[in-house]
Amino acid sequence: MSEYHEPEAELGDDVRDAHRALLSLQEEIEAVDWYQQRLTCCKNPELVRVLEHNRNEEIEHAAMLLEWVRRELPGWDERLQKVLFTSRTLGAAADTESESEAGASNSSASGRGLGIGSLRQVTP
């Protein structure tokens, strides 16, 4: 059974590579979780150090894959720059963007936007 949601023969090499990267990223993150669980329960200090080392290696692998995704897949760089390495409250980037989009759609008088107004439901 294929892991693809569309016929594999219809997918380009770039789409298959993106799938490989995203699946690998998922697997690396799962491995980080497994090692974290194991070292949390482990009683042997030497084994804890080994498991911490292994967890950290998996984090590095995930980081390399995420960087590849950021560089290669459309939209990722823009989104990651809005969220990563900022002190902004998580979720604030999406909230700010939604407000900006709503403002743009209400600004047809200024010559910007489509002039269709906000699609948000107004509650009384």
**Model confidence over 65-85: pLDDT tens digits?**
999 999 999 999 999 999 999
Q: What pTM, to 2 d.p., does this model score? A: 0.72
Give the number of other CB atoms < 10 A from CB of residue 74.
7
For 20-33, how does the pLDDT look when each residue is reduced to its tens digit (9 = 90+)?
Answer: 999 999 999 999 99
The mean pLDDT value for 83-100 works out to: 77
As a whole number, the mean pLDDT across the chain is 85
| Cα dist from 27 to 55, 74, 83, 102, whole Å | 12, 22, 22, 38
Q: What residues contact 4, with CB distance under 8 A and at least 6 apart? A: 11, 19
Segment 50-62 mean pLDDT: 98
Q: Which two tokens stand for residue 31?
A: 């491995």
Contacts 24+ apart (CB under 8 A), 1-10: none
Kindly state the tokens that stand for 97: 């963007």
Q: What pLDDT does 55 receive?
A: 98
